[in-house]
Every structure is written in C-alpha cells, then in structure tokens.
Amino acid sequence: MAMTAIATLQPVWECRWSQPGHRLTGVSDALQPETEWVCVRDGDRRNIGPHECATCPHWEWDAGTRTNATASTAVVAYAPVRSRRTLESALLFALAVLAAIFVATGITVLTAPMMVPLTIALWLGAAAVAGFAVFGLGGE
C-alpha cells in the first residue's frame, strides 16, 4: 500500500506566537537588540529563526495573517546603510548641478549694467549651494 507524506509549511510570520523583533536602522545584525523574529509564547520575548519556527511543535496559525497584504505588513524591513549613502551622494550631485546652473545663469544675464546686482545674487546663491555640495548638509 502506498503512503503519502504531507509537508506542512509553518512560516514564522503566520504563527500566533511570533512577532517582529526590535530592529535598528543602520546597525549590523550582530549588534541588533533582537533577531528578525521573536517568540512570545512563554510570556517573554525569545529570539527565534525561521528554521526553528518551521519545526516548532507549538506553532499555531494566526488568522489575522492569512492574506498576502497582511502578511507583507508583518515583515520588518530596515534601510541598509548603503541606500542612505547613495541618496546622500545623489543629493550632493544635484546641489553641484544647481550651483553650476546658477553660475551659468549669472553669466548669461550679465549683459547690461542694471543686471549686475542680479548676477551677483545668483553667484552668491551658487556659492552657498556649492558649499552645501562640497561640505555636505551638516548631518552626522
């Protein structure tokens, strides 16, 4: 007689006892206060991994996470440091381009003596924007 084995998928985000762990943005996994998922079955928060939850005998289905939309909101995502650096580099590049536009506009409108104050104002604005582009915005 043939025997059939059924593998039951027990994802960590659909368990009644699992919750997203507390995560800090820009901190490596080794320095995080908790793992990506924690178990609250015993009344306290215990770090767990997806493999441990997949074989847990106390796994209970959470009715609130049945749809894909709800399950995706339970996943904790954090922005890696690399994306912050990329955004900052793009912003500094945009500031440098803006400074170049101010300088070019000042040179273009410098055609009559009455336009000298406007040209000086444009060049001072270009110097300020270029300063932001070169030295950053004063963040960390």
Mind listing the pLDDT tens digit for each residue in 91-131?
A: 888 888 888 888 888 888 877 788 888 888 888 988 888 88
What is the 8-class DSSP label of residue 48? E
Higher pLDDT: 68 or 34? It is 34
Q: What is the per-residue pLDDT for 39?
A: 87
Q: What is the side-by-side order of every strand in the sheet holding 46-48?
A: 18-20, 37-39, 46-48
Q: Which domain holds residue 17?
A: 12-73
pLDDT value at residue 69:
44
**Residues 85 and 125 placed together within one structural domain of the fold:** yes
Tell whether 2 is covered by a domain. Answer: no
Same-domain status, 52 and 91: no
Q: Which of 48, 45, 46, 44 is nearest to 10 (CA)?
A: 48
Domain count, the chain: 2
Whole-model pTM above 0.85? Answer: no
